[in-house]
Structure 1
Amino acid sequence: MAVPTLAWFYLLLAGLAEIGWAVGLKYTEGFTRPLPTVLTVAGMIVSFYLLSLAMRSIPLGTAYAVWTGIGAVGAVILGMVLFGESRDLARIGCIALILCGVLGLKWLGGSAH
């Protein structure tokens, strides 16, 4: 059985929301700033909800790995852009490896039983 495209769309949105809340954590300054804290928690709720919708059709291991992969790659890239984190070649190579794993899981994903 093929995994519905909508499930993958939910998973993509969940991963993007994860990037948002991961970066948002930096702006909360330990949950001491009210607006960034509220936005970050809202991003967490949206991300988890969309992940749960995706998991209706996508196997747990695949969905979770893709979700965390999107979040990790996005957070690293935004860390470089927003916070001046290292952009050395080894770091970029590691991002590429994560991205290859996420794409591989997407292509080999299969359906839940």
Structure 2
Amino acid sequence: MAWIVLILSGVLEAVWATALGASDGFKRKLPTLIFIVSMAVSMAGLAYAMTDLATGTSYAVWVGIGAVLTAVLAVVRKQERLSLSRAALLAALIGCVVGLKAVS
């Protein structure tokens, strides 16, 4: 159960990071609200996962999922370009996250 919560919390990290960028310095209400709620739930999920999983592994997986999904969302929203090197590095990051799960 802790792994499922951790993965969902990582997804929410991408949501709050994207909402933070869209909030325009907290000037836009809806993205700011999405940021606040998703960040609180994401942090609570991380804290819950850390009760069963190692802190370093939990944090690395949470950040890795959030970073990859945030980058993918930026590409999908056409805010960033996806180069071959960027895609390879994101794939490597995904491999590292999966590797941490495998050795845990």
What's the TM-score, normalizing by structure 1? Answer: 0.89
Gaps of 5+ in 1: 1-5
The 2-side partners of 1:10 and 1:54 are apart by 6
The 1-side partners of 2:39 and 2:100 are apart by 23
State the Cα deviation string for residues 34-59 of structure 1 (Å, max 9, x = none): 12101111110000000011001110
State the Cα deviation string for residues 11-64 of structure 1 (Å, max 9, x = none): 011001101001111110011111210111111000000001100111000000
Are residues 1:20 and 2:15 paired?
yes
Aligned-pair distance for 1:69?
0.2
User: 2:34 aligns to what?
Assistant: 39
One-letter amino acid of the counterpart of residue 79, structure 1: A
> May I ask how many residue pairs the two structures share in their alignment?
104
Are residues 1:30 and 2:25 paired?
yes
For residue 83 of structure 1, give the secondary structure of its aligned residue in structure 2: coil
Gaps of 5+ in 2: none
Identity %: 40
Higher Cα Rg: structure 1 or 2?
1
One-letter amino acid of the counterpart of residue 28, structure 2: R
1:105 to 93, 100, 104: 100
Runs of 4+ in 1 over 3 A off after TM superposition: none
Aligned-pair distance for 1:83?
3.0
